[in-house]
Structure 1
Amino acid sequence: MSTPHASGPLVRTVAGPLSCAAVPGPVLAHEHLVLDLDLKGDGAAVLDVPHHEEPVTRELAGLREHFGLSLVVELTCRGMGRDARALARIAERTGVAVVAATGWYYEPFHTPELEGASIGQLTDTLLAEVRDGLDGTDVRPGVLGEVGSHGDTPSDPEARSLRAAARAALESDLSVATHAQLGRGGLAQLDLLTGEGLPPQRVCVGHQDLLDEPGVHRELARSGAYVAFDTVGKESYQSDETRLRLLLELLEAGHADRALLSCDISRHGYLRTEGGQGYGHLFRSFLPRLRAEGVDEDLIDLMTRRNPLRFLTGASTEEI
């Protein structure tokens, strides 16, 4: 993996600090490489080490070779089956830098520690991971996420976890990526996070490609927050045709500098080895459609490389 340069904005990866200047190719801004979201007991929402680490590794290595994939923001956090050791192995074997995360997903996946805990106590838990490492390792998170809520207004425990993430982000100079279930509640999430003093440019509101409300996307972007079109290829939730329309509307409104793109692979059935769209669907299918609509390479580089690096580091447009 590239050695960090001596100066300039740094991304905190599982292998340590990495200069943004050492990230020459695209970034997947919201993915999962190892996770367990199996609430139904059918094993579908799982990417586990024994069965899936090898195909995940092969996919990423292939994307590095064919599309120059340089970094993956891996948003599996507490209660989602995170495995920092596996992330470090995958990064080392593929040559693709990986950013690990901490925080709490939305309420159905909350861990018992949230029950009755104050915002301060939750903040301390997150800062301990930032300081000491994840899952008994010295791997430190480079982002708070995907901090979740569902519905138009976060529940009480979701609000506490969002506020704790904001406070931890401020103290550690990290950013916050959210999970807005089916795209809803993003403005309420942003209000909570910025209400704790977190600048909007350190916030990425997730899954906005599942919400067919261009006005909300524009409002988020005008605030300075990043707007994630991060479930590209998940046709059972939303068609890529609709995603394309919504993204083009955001670009036409002048907010290309706020858009982030990714595929959010969260089931083993999405892997290429199992007939799914894979982590590369963005590069193989969606970006060619954007190009066909007249989106040029500079804008594509902005959305797939510079924007995610700016989000992670808080750097200005001039710095990256």
Structure 2
Amino acid sequence: MIQTVQGLIPPEQLGFCHSHEHLFLAEGQPEKLNPALRIDDYTATLSELEMFQSLGGKAIVDAQPLGCGRMEKELVKVSSQTKTHIVASTGFHKLAFYPHNHWIRTFSMEELKEVFIHELTVGMYIGTDSHLPKEYINHKAGQIKTAIDEKRMKDSEKKWFIAAAQASIETSIPIMCHTETVEQGDYLTDLYIKLGVPPRNIIVCHLDRKLDNIGAHKKIAEKGCFVEYDTIGRFKYHDDELEVEMLKQMLEWGFADAILLGLDTTRQRLKSYGGEIGLNYIIENFIPLMHRRGISQKNIEKFMIKNPAIAFSKI
């Protein structure tokens, strides 16, 4: 089963799925780092999702964890209003997204684990950007978002990652890993597997921001983990032609069943907020390009339908 904000659904009901997006992001610490990290207009997000649905989109994985801008009530409301399956995230983002006095920096490993498990089994906490996790709604998160960066690489305690791994093992819920280099992705997958997380419950994102070491993607996929690519239409990194060439190489290596796709949306990347692309981009632009470059419809359906149905299931 897949745990959406509206409850459990069988995997075959998930449908066409973007595996990494941000539908809402409240004013706060992330916006201070980058104004594009504020997506808080309900009407605009509703319009974006309605466009996505009109083109055949069925499901979105929202990758914003608690404590740094997640808008729980809005995710539930827009899911209900549009009949879109939305998978919300518990867990943690990179430390820069939290003020220096935020509780997520000071909680022990056991306290963090309890918070994550509560959000996965009871309901998501509200108001955690500025308050301790106490009040909650009766709608659950469906994945554990985790983030590694240079600061956390140097942290010897690794309490956040141990808490996430234990919460995943106890609930059978998958872990999504924000990475900033492929080397970090390789390290983090090794750590989670060593801690006992099944590889098919590990999703590594952002690996395609740089395409100079595709062999590292192969190494991660060989472990049995999912590789999630979300740099589509992000031309400050590279063009879509190079993205497709990378996908074709992964297919040649035999990893059609390991690939997930998304757009990692920001305010600048949502049409309804005046952005340069929108949730229509994969359907209207990238899928036609994959067809033209020889990627089969069967493999595209794996990227967008079959693989997400497996990756976001409780196993």
TM-score of the two chains, using structure 2 as the length reference: 0.89
Q: Is the 8 A contact 2:67 2:104 kept in 1?
A: no
- Partner residue in 2 for 1:39: 32
For the residue of structure 2 that corresponds to 1:228, the secondary structure is: strand
Looking at structure 1, the residues matched to 109 and 243 of structure 2 have their Cα atoms a distance apart, in angstroms, of 35
Q: Is the 8 A contact 2:186 2:220 kept in 1?
A: yes
Looking at structure 2, the residues matched to 223 and 22 of structure 1 have their Cα atoms a distance apart, in angstroms, of 28
Cα gap change, 1:107/1:275 in structure 2, threshold over 3 Å: closer, same or farther? closer
Q: Is the 8 A contact 2:17 2:61 kept in 1?
A: yes
Cα gap change, 1:22/1:209 in structure 2, threshold over 3 Å: closer, same or farther? same
Q: Could you tell me which amino acid in structure 2 is paired with residue 169 of structure 1?
A: S
For the residue of structure 1 that corresponds to 2:93, the secondary structure is: coil
| Structure 2: tracts of 5 or more residues without a match | 127-135
For the residue of structure 1 that corresponds to 2:31, the secondary structure is: coil
Residue 95 (1) aligns with residue 83 (2): yes
Q: How many residues align?
A: 298
- Partner residue in 1 for 2:131: none
- Partner residue in 2 for 1:127: 117
- Partner residue in 2 for 1:251: 251
For the residue of structure 2 that corresponds to 1:260, the secondary structure is: strand
Q: Could you tell me which amino acid in structure 1 is paired with residue 79 of structure 2?
A: A
Cα gap change, 1:22/1:114 in structure 2, threshold over 3 Å: closer, same or farther? closer
> Which aligned pairs between 1:205-244 and structure 2 lie closer than 5 A?
205-212=204-211, 213-244=213-244
Cα gap change, 1:148/1:61 in structure 2, threshold over 3 Å: closer, same or farther? same
Residue 85 (1) aligns with residue 73 (2): yes
Cα gap change, 1:171/1:205 in structure 2, threshold over 3 Å: closer, same or farther? same
State the shift of 1:314 in Å: 5.1
Residue 310 (1) aligns with residue 310 (2): yes
Cα gap change, 1:34/1:64 in structure 2, threshold over 3 Å: closer, same or farther? same
Higher RCO (CA < 8 A, seq sep 6+): 2
Looking at structure 2, the residues matched to 183 and 86 of structure 1 have their Cα atoms a distance apart, in angstroms, of 33
Q: Is the 8 A contact 2:147 2:179 kept in 1?
A: yes
State the shift of 1:157 in Å: 8.0
Cα gap change, 1:34/1:155 in structure 2, threshold over 3 Å: closer, same or farther? farther
TM-score of the two chains, using structure 1 as the length reference: 0.87
- Partner residue in 2 for 1:106: 94
State the shift of 1:192 in Å: 1.6
For the residue of structure 2 that corresponds to 1:61, the secondary structure is: helix
Residue 28 (1) aligns with residue 18 (2): yes
- Partner residue in 2 for 1:197: 196
- Partner residue in 1 for 2:42: 53
State the shift of 1:124 in Å: 1.4
- Partner residue in 2 for 1:181: 180
State the shift of 1:238 in Å: 3.0
Cα gap change, 1:241/1:195 in structure 2, threshold over 3 Å: closer, same or farther? same
State the shift of 1:240 in Å: 1.9
Q: Could you tell me which amino acid in structure 1 is paired with residue 251 of structure 2?
A: L
For the residue of structure 1 that corresponds to 2:208, the secondary structure is: helix
**Over the residues paired in the alignment, what is the CA RMSD in angstroms?**
1.9
Q: Is the 8 A contact 1:126 1:168 kept in 2?
A: yes
State the shift of 1:116 in Å: 4.4
Looking at structure 2, the residues matched to 94 and 180 of structure 1 have their Cα atoms a distance apart, in angstroms, of 31
Q: Is the 8 A contact 2:233 2:263 kept in 1?
A: yes
